[in-house]
Every structure is written in structure tokens, then in C-alpha cells.
Amino acid sequence: MHQEDQSYSTSVLAQLRAVIPVHAQVSFADALRVAELQANKLIELHGIVTGPVPTELISELPKLTVGYTGRLVSGATFWDKHHQVWVIQLSRTDSQARRRFTLAHEFKHIIDHGRQTILYRGTRRITAVAQAEQAADYFAGCLLVPRRLLKQAWGNGIQDPSELAQLFEVSEQAIAVRLRQTGLVDGRFRHVPRPFPLAAELEPEPDDEGEVSKPVEEEGLAA
């Protein structure tokens, strides 16, 4: 692997991780704001100004490889100590839209590595692990359906969920969630599960195997 590629990969992760506060007083609402800032930063770094957002901005990063599995789990992430790379596994049976969402979701877990205890503390109603999964969903939605680009499309008259889903190459469910999160609609898609309520609210690469994450869900959170 070329040294310049390694430096680029480290630079991207470092810039995304630099958004995470260093103090321990982070509410879940703060964690969600961090997720959107990270998604916007990744988009900015690649100069993306229109949809669909290409997932190559993740899959082509050095020190990261994407594989496909026949397992029932939609996605998983772990650190391959032997090859010194992050591995994101996607289900080969999922649709392209689902795989795009899962890839972005799993990449958020990579960004969060070593910072989970700062970002996700859990409450009596929700565990820290569940918060991490929800934040990864939110990051995926913000990355693939950016607030600015969604509002731009909406303002240009593209307001049908199926057309928006085609434009951004995501599922209609993901579009429905993002429309609610951005305030473009309110309760218009009653058939889609409501998002969870909000709570009150550059480390080196790991030298051990990362934990395999839980299955991804597309139901996002309210912004």
C-alpha cells in the first residue's frame, strides 16, 4: 500500500474523528449533531454537490475493504489485525439501496472506534449500544440524503418519495425518515415507524480486533 494512500485514509478518519468532543459531557442529541457534522464533512472533502452521493468515498478508502457475505445479518464491521485493515461485510442478498445504507452505517462505527463511551452513555430507557446503532443510522441518512441536497430537490419540485428515492439511490423508507428529520413533512408517512425520540438531550488505528456490530436498521432519528 502506498504511503500517500495511507496518509489520505488517516487524514479522512482524523478529520471526521476530530469532530467528536473530547469531554465526557455529551448528550445523545449532541452525538446526533456530531454524526451529521461528520457526514457533511465527508461530503465536503469529496466536493459532492448533487445526488446520489457515491459510496466510493467510503469503499475506496485505503486501509478499508468491503466484502460480501451470505449471512442473514445485513452488515458487520471488524478490524483485521493480520492485514491491518478495517473490514465491512455486506449481505449479497440485499438490494443496492440497502447495501449503500448499510455501508454508510458501518463506516460510522469505524469513525466512532475508541470514542463510544464519550458519545453514547445510555439512559434508563435505552442502552448505549442502541444509541450507537441509532446514531449510525442517522449518519447514514445524513450522508446519503444530505439535508441541503434533499431540500434543494424538494424546492425544485421533486417531492414524490419514489422519485426522491431514485435520485438519492436509497429506499423510500429512508426518504420518508429524512423528510421528517429535515422538517419537509410532518406525519405524512404514517405507515413508516416513527423515529425514536431524542434523549435529553485522533486515536491511532486499533491493534486488536474490533467488535462486530449489530444488524443495521433504516429507521432513523429525528434531527
Q: Mean pLDDT across the stretch 46-70?
A: 94
* Residues whose CB is less than 8 angstroms from the CB of residue 68 and which lie 6 or more positions away in sequence, other chains included: 89, 90, 91, 92
pLDDT in the model for residue 197: 35
200, 27 in Cβ contact below 8 A? Answer: yes
Cell numbers of 56, please?
466510493
Cα distances from 29 to residues 39, 43, 132, 201, in angstroms, run 16, 22, 12, 5
Tell me which residue range forms the domain holding 23: 3-181
Domain-embedded: residue 92: yes
Predicted pLDDT at 189 = 44
178-219 pLDDT, tens per residue? 999 999 998 544 333 333 333 322 233 443 344 444 444 444
pLDDT of residue 25: 80
pLDDT at 72: 61
Report the first-to-last Cα separation within the chain, whole angstroms.
Answer: 39
Q: Give pLDDT tens digits for 115-148.
A: 999 999 999 999 999 999 999 999 999 999 999 9
CATH number of the domain that residue 68 is part of: 1.10.10.2910
**Residue 212 located in a structural domain:** no
Q: Which residue has the cell 488505528?
A: 205
**What pLDDT score does 184 carry?**
96
Residues counted in the chain: 223
pLDDT tens-digit profile of 71-128? 767 789 999 999 999 999 999 999 999 999 999 999 999 999 999 999 999 999 999 9
Number of domains in the chain: 1
**Residue 194 within a domain:** no
Among 27-36, 44-53, 60-69, 185-194, the range scoring the smallest mean pLDDT is 185-194
**Residue 214 within a domain:** no
pLDDT at residue 208, as a whole number: 38
Taking the C-alpha atoms of 14, 19, 23 and 26 in order, what is their torsion angle to the nearest 10 degrees?
-130
Distances (CA, A) of 25 to 22, 106, 165: 9, 25, 37
- The residues, ordered by sequence, that sit 6+ positions from 148 with a Cβ below 8 Å of its Cβ are none
